[in-house]
Structure 1
């Protein structure tokens, strides 16, 4: 069994977060250390530690993460100019919380992704 994270507590509303969307499959909230004017995290309500742990049964929740990203990008006013969606996997991928999460970043030109 995967170890519970701070995100599980946000889903259950046991700790405060600026939640902007929640349904039966996913929860979205503002990142506490934003890297852009708009920086939201969209997470499945079921604990999936990394992309390597994704199974076919998770497809509905993962698909919902993308459709919610589209909805929130429009609501946040970044859809027309553009935004970036990122999922990090494991330490070399930059993952810090081991509950899969989709970053939605926008509100300024983000430029190319610099590797290194």
Structure 2
């Protein structure tokens, strides 16, 4: 039985990646002593990162879809903290019944946050 998934995304600079995710409300998970690896956690999710110094952000297609039960509150908190929402990813209800918004991390990993509209 499958019961969890933890995405692993590329990062060029651990300090910049950590700062970005801390600003999103994540905390370091596990040991922060590895230069080439980072784990962050918020609520019930984790995202892991591996060092990829040669990454070209414009060529990065890393993506994570994160489900929430308070999309409006999350979006509002991002705006209140002046965090950059993706220019094409403002909060909206999609034809597939999800209310979502998106943002890019420092390495152009796309984070999409969504909530089912029922």
Which protein is richer in helix relative to its size?
A: 1
- TM-score by structure 2 length? 0.29
Which protein is richer in strand relative to its size?
A: 2
- TM-score by structure 1 length? 0.30
Higher CA-based Rg: 2
